[in-house]
A and B are shown apart, each in its own frame.
Chain A
Amino acid sequence: MNKKTKHRIRTTGKAIRLHPRSRKLIAHTVIRALKNINTKQQNLSADLPQPARAVEFKKLRVLLVSAMPGEELWQTEQLIADQFRLLTKEVIAIKAFQSFSTALAQLNPDLLLVVGSDTSFSDNDLEVIRRANLKKAIWLTDSSGTSSSTGRLTALFNYVFTQNMYHIPFYQHSGSNSVLYLPFAADQNLFLPKYVDEAYRCDLLLLGDALPTGIVYLHELSPLLSGCKVYAAGQGWEDHPGIIPVAPGAELQDYYNGAETIIHWGQPPLRAFQIASCGAVQLAEDHPNLYAYMNPGEDIITFHTRQELSEKLRYYRNHPESARAVATRALWRSTYDYSFMQMAAKLLHTVFNS
């Protein structure tokens, strides 16, 4: 075998063998081309806007100050602290006791997060917060309303998180640049699907006051309620025939679990989350708050008018699998989409990475 035949290109078989000079030439060409491509890409990417380096949450220390009104939300406070523990390096959770702001200097956190309202701050504490040079956020418990003092309080914080979309313009007007709608999620330790006693069972549970709208809805629905057991939680239901009022202040999770269908109006979004977390079928009066985290028609049924309510109630009664599918999606999303974990993550993302 002479040298020429040795380096001849073979066209048979799987391998294609090239002359060494050819291989060298091709290799150089490819390497040069790749170098050019990389250089061009580098130059090209240098022209594009660069994303800020994301803050690693697990390196953050959070001072969580609870200014929750009353005792109603104490478990929510614990849940919030727990979610931030999962997401960050350290959470120091304290109550907004007198001169609590000394903890700021003591602990030097990356984030001061106040959860609650403006009930218990001294002037001195407010002044310390105002002067503090760190990221400051407040997650308000303002679902039922807000006030001018809350507005003044929010102006001390870089980030304001509200339970009600309608409050956003007010806080912005009060001086807060970054205001976001971020409702509390349901406590899944309390609100979960479970079997309940007969005492909690009903065909329909109405959530909301009798006046002004409850009566209107009830009247519209009356042709559908014959033979139904109907509970109502809210004010003013005591004297309505056929309605069994739920005791004021009663914990409602068992009623949610015992109701075949729940209709609610004029309620903060937390209630929709709680019902969803029980896997119950709910028809909610339409409200902009519902659209931020839920998808009406998919995981919650909404209505705009009494006629629409009546039509939808009739429809879903006749299509129980559809109603069940909506409730099931809501139950799923309670865990994976609008849980406290997602809310806490969103808060951190807003403060540190947006």
Chain B
Amino acid sequence: MKLIAFLLPQFHVIPENSLWWGDGFTEWTNTRKAVPLYSGHQQPKEPLEQYYYDLTNAAARNWQAEVAKAYGIYGFCYYHYWFKGKLLLEQPLKHIMTSGKPDFPFCLSWANESWTRKWDGGEHEVLIRQEYGDEQDWENHFYELLDAFKDKRYIRIGNKPLFIIYRPGNIPRCEEMLQFWNTLALQNGLDGIYFVRTLGGFDIPGQGGFDANVEFEPHYTFAHGNTERLWNYMIIDGQEHLVFDYDQVWLSILSRSPHRNGGKIFPGAYVNWDNTPRLGKRGQSCIGASPHKFGWYLTKQIQRARTLYQSEFLFINAWNEWAEGAFLEPDQQHRFRYLEEVKKALEQTGSLSSVHSGARQPVFTPDE
């Protein structure tokens, strides 16, 4: 079983974020300012030994890969941002490409949403709008990614680089674009692109051209999990704050039918969810998460992935979404407990030996 964790590159300063959110903004800015909203609400989430890394620093990127490898994570799925020729948060991947380090499998997910002040990918208070071009833009986009697709570390299925699109339903002429890319891929020495549609927290129209679907949790369950009873609210200083039950979402994930129009599905898993660092009371938080529970549920989902979905991949949200409470990276409260549960789940399902042979023991201190 190959566990792939989504990785957010927003841990370095870019001019656009500084302009929109203030000088020196990174994801840590949100993380640090979080406060507990209610009894038992664990905020702020602090990285172990206050390691507020910068992903333009090679040591941080290498440390992430070393730790992930040590606990059995197979690879990272870096978010990729392309706004009709405009790239954002691309520096970490560029460094990975040019340096050849870390030597760790990776793939990309095109997070094709507008950036908004509400962090919701919506159409209000837009900071940068997600726009789409035609053939010329498709070609430019493809060639922007070609080096990555050809990289020996890039994750492939059937010798096709695995490329995830977050919201294909928003892309006009999507199927034509995928065909166009496949043609370009063949012209450039690849066997094609393995396109994966994200099953997330939004409408999912029927579109051709995809080889598989990936469950993006907990959003997929929020939107499509028949969980009308999931949400509750608590009153905090006269304001409603939405909460949901950790176990109920996992119950919904683990009870889901494997059938979806005959399509191939890569099952998903989620670590936790709490986006109050970004939105305060207007956000949502999860009640009842713990490393032990995560390990229990992940074990079951790995078993389902293997037997029910015949999938060699399982995608975890996330490696480092600190401002959404979804992270495997070690923190002050649980240290390496979530990662230890990942390793235990792999061991219990007989999946560990097939992941990274000879991985080093867990490390913390990055090589500066």
Residues of A within 8 A of B (CB): 66, 71, 74-75, 77-78, 90, 92-95, 97-100, 102-103, 106-107, 120
B247 touches A97 (CB 8 A): no
CB distance from B211 to the nearest CB of A (A): 35
Cβ 8 A contact of B39, one of A94, A98, A106: A98
CB distance from A105 to the nearest CB of B (A): 11
Quick check: is B235 within 8 A (CB to CB) of the other chain? Answer: yes
C-beta contact mask, B295-320 vs A, less than 8 Å → 1, else 0?
A: 01000000000000000000000000
Instruction: Say which one of B77-85, B149-157, B284-292 lies at the interface with A.
Output: B284-292
B247 touches A74 (CB 8 A): yes
A56 to B287, CA, bound (A): 32
Smallest CB-CB separation from B292: which chain A residue?
A71
Q: Which of B220-246 contact A (CB under 8 A)?
A: 229, 232-236, 243, 245
> Chain B contacts of A92 at CB under 8 A?
229
A–B pairs, 10, beta carbons within 8 Å: A71-B290, A71-B293, A75-B296, A92-B229, A95-B245, A98-B38, A98-B236, A100-B232, A102-B235, A120-B40
> Chain A contacts of B243 at CB under 8 A?
97
Smallest CB-CB separation from B228: which chain A residue?
A92
Known contacts A71-B290, A92-B229: does B248 contact A97 (CB below 8 Å)?
Answer: no
Known contacts A71-B292, A74-B293: does B287 contact A95 (CB below 8 Å)?
Answer: yes
Q: Which of B145-163 contact A (CB under 8 A)?
A: none
Quick check: is B251 within 8 A (CB to CB) of the other chain? Answer: yes
A97 to B244, CA, bound (A): 10
A93 touches B245 (CB 8 A): yes
A92 to B38, CA, bound (A): 22
B232 touches A103 (CB 8 A): yes
> Chain A contacts of B234 at CB under 8 A?
97-100, 102
Q: In the complex, given contacts A95-B287, A98-B38, A102-B235, what are 20 additional A-B residue pairs having Cβ atoms less than 8 angstroms apart?
A: A66-B288, A71-B293, A74-B247, A74-B288, A78-B251, A92-B229, A93-B247, A94-B245, A94-B287, A95-B288, A97-B40, A97-B234, A97-B243, A99-B234, A102-B233, A102-B234, A103-B232, A106-B232, A107-B229, A120-B40
The 8 closest A-B pairs by CB, nearest first: A99-B234, A98-B38, A95-B287, A92-B229, A97-B287, A99-B235, A95-B288, A98-B234
Q: Interface residues of B: mostly helix, strand, loop or mixed?
A: mixed
A99 to B281, CA, bound (A): 14
> Chain B contacts of A74 at CB under 8 A?
247, 288, 290, 292-293
> Chain A contacts of B232 at CB under 8 A?
94, 97, 100, 102-103, 106
B247 touches A78 (CB 8 A): yes
Smallest CB-CB separation from A107: which chain B residue?
B229
> Chain B contacts of A94 at CB under 8 A?
232, 245, 287
> Chain A contacts of B288 at CB under 8 A?
66, 74, 95
CB distance from A210 to the nearest CB of B (A): 29
> Chain B contacts of A102 at CB under 8 A?
232-235
> Chain B contacts of A77 at CB under 8 A?
247
> Chain A contacts of B293 at CB under 8 A?
71, 74
CB distance from A139 to the nearest CB of B (A): 17
CB distance from B245 to the nearest CB of A (A): 6
A29 to B248, CA, bound (A): 67
Smallest CB-CB separation from A90: which chain B residue?
B229
CB distance from A103 to the nearest CB of B (A): 5
Smallest CB-CB separation from A103: which chain B residue?
B232
A74 to B294, CA, bound (A): 12
CB distance from B182 to the nearest CB of A (A): 45
CB distance from A143 to the nearest CB of B (A): 21
A75 to B248, CA, bound (A): 12
C-beta contact mask, B245-281 vs A, less than 8 Å → 1, else 0?
A: 1011001000000000000000000000000000000
Smallest CB-CB separation from B38: which chain A residue?
A98
> Chain B contacts of A93 at CB under 8 A?
245, 247-248
> Chain B contacts of A98 at CB under 8 A?
38-40, 234, 236
CB distance from B250 to the nearest CB of A (A): 9
> Chain B contacts of A78 at CB under 8 A?
247, 251
B235 touches A97 (CB 8 A): no
> Chain B contacts of A90 at CB under 8 A?
229
Smallest CB-CB separation from A124: which chain B residue?
B235
CB distance from B293 to the nearest CB of A (A): 6
> Chain B contacts of A95 at CB under 8 A?
245, 287-288
A181 to B351, CA, bound (A): 44
A92 to B235, CA, bound (A): 19
Known contacts A95-B287, A99-B234, A102-B234: does B245 contact A120 (CB below 8 Å)?
Answer: no
A100 to B40, CA, bound (A): 13
A74 to B296, CA, bound (A): 11
Smallest CB-CB separation from A72: which chain B residue?
B292
> Chain A contacts of B39 at CB under 8 A?
98, 120
- Candidate in A93, A94, A103 with the most chain B CB atoms within 10 angstroms: A94
Smallest CB-CB separation from A66: which chain B residue?
B288
> Chain A contacts of B233 at CB under 8 A?
102
CB distance from B40 to the nearest CB of A (A): 7
A103 to B233, CA, bound (A): 8
A99 to B288, CA, bound (A): 15
A97 touches B229 (CB 8 A): no
A200 to B296, CA, bound (A): 22
A103 to B243, CA, bound (A): 11
CB distance from A197 to the nearest CB of B (A): 15
A120 to B38, CA, bound (A): 12
A98 to B243, CA, bound (A): 10
CB distance from B257 to the nearest CB of A (A): 17
A253 to B148, CA, bound (A): 49
C-beta contact mask, B32-45 vs A, less than 8 Å → 1, else 0?
A: 00000011100000
> Chain A contacts of B287 at CB under 8 A?
94-95, 97
Smallest CB-CB separation from B251: which chain A residue?
A78
> Chain B contacts of A103 at CB under 8 A?
232
CB distance from A117 to the nearest CB of B (A): 15
CB distance from A341 to the nearest CB of B (A): 18
A219 to B236, CA, bound (A): 60
A77 to B251, CA, bound (A): 13
> Chain B contacts of A75 at CB under 8 A?
296
CB distance from A157 to the nearest CB of B (A): 21
A97 touches B251 (CB 8 A): no
A245 to B360, CA, bound (A): 33
A99 to B37, CA, bound (A): 12
Cβ 8 A contact of B38, one of A71, A97, A107: A97
